Amino acid sequence: MFGLSVILLGLRVIVSCIGLVGNIFLIYAIIQIKSSHVKTFELFLLALALANLEEIIIVNIYEIIIHQTSSAPINTGLCRTLKFLTVFGEITSINFTVLISIFRQQKLRHAETRVTPIYLDSIRSAWMVSGICVMLATLLSLPIFVLNFPGPAENITRNSSRCPRKLFQCSENDCPALNHIYKYLFTTVCNLLPLIIVTVNSCFIITVLLSQRKTLTPELSVSGSSQFGSKRKGPRYHHSPTAVLAAMGLFQVDWTLFMIFQIFSPTDLPFWAETEFFISISYTSLSPYVYGIGNNLFSLKKCMKK
């Protein structure tokens, strides 16, 4: 059992380091772009990477404090602050993922016939929508400071800090109604609704990519010159939407599992905290690589240059 805990701790460190490196490099790659050349999509990616980075750092600080003070109570204010920052980073990451999926869906809709830019093409509009995402994440995280964290049931072994790892964890005999209300509000607004939006947008992107592939296929056989031009335009045109689609798939798998386990998770199982950690942190750690590679922000040449 001790050996397994050491392995899980090692995996935790590796996944966290992968996430830190990926998000830091994505941030660095975007801020190197001249401000006059920054597009709204890159602005959304920057905000997403910052939210991912904050969540990874805070989650690990929270876990370290939980382990280090397992024999002594943790200050209630510190516990609530760390939980607030964790939830804030999580919701912000979800909000910007939803925003990216909406932006890409809007860009692909009527792309061949549209002559005017969409609303989110404006940097000013992008900043305003980004501010709304951050404000919404803040409002949805604030109830953490008024939630009651009752002591654990006597038959559940937990540290005496009265600062549970699970957001909604409380005693079966003493769980306030406010905790239940916030649990269902959080699950619906922050998990279920984003999953529905991302899934719908993903289906639309798949439909558009498939239809465009069918229209490109006849053009490739017209002539050698047209074939050359189509090959140059086609992959570059599809590259970014495909990367977004891959990231959306990762998001759907990750947060579906997370939502299910938040509702039905058996908290008394061994190593459940580690399992929940890997589920919640995998998207924030892997998504920067998907976005960075898919949008040509990550490359071997750039890595050597940096």
More confident position, 162 or 16:
16
- The rounded mean pLDDT for the chain is 77
**Residue 166 covered by a domain:** yes
**Structurally, how many domains does the chain consist of?**
1
**Residue 222 covered by a domain:** yes
The residue segments making up the domain with residue 32 are: 7-305
**Cα–Cα distance, 249 to 45 (Å, whole number):** 17
**Residue 2 covered by a domain:** no
Residue 273 confidence (pLDDT):
65
Instruction: Please report where in the chains the tokens 């750092």 appear, as a residue.
Output: 57
Residues 6+ apart with CB under 8 A from 126: 40, 43, 44, 120
**Residue 155 covered by a domain:** yes
The model's pLDDT over 117-156, given as tens digits with 9 standing for 90+, comes to: 788 888 889 999 999 999 999 999 999 888 776 544 433 3
Residue 88 confidence (pLDDT):
93
For residue 270, pLDDT over 70 is answered with no
State the average pLDDT over residues 227-238: 44
3 and 268 in contact (C-beta within 8 Å)?
no
**Residue 35 covered by a domain:** yes
For residue 300, pLDDT over 90 is answered with no
State the average pLDDT over residues 222-240: 46
The CATH number for 119's domain is 1.20.1070.10
**Residue 150 covered by a domain:** yes
The model's pLDDT over 53-112, given as tens digits with 9 standing for 90+, comes to: 999 999 888 877 766 555 556 677 888 888 899 899 999 999 999 999 999 888 887 767
**Residue 1 covered by a domain:** no
169: left (phi over 0), alpha (psi -120 to 50) or beta: beta
What percentage of the chain exceeds 70 in pLDDT?
70
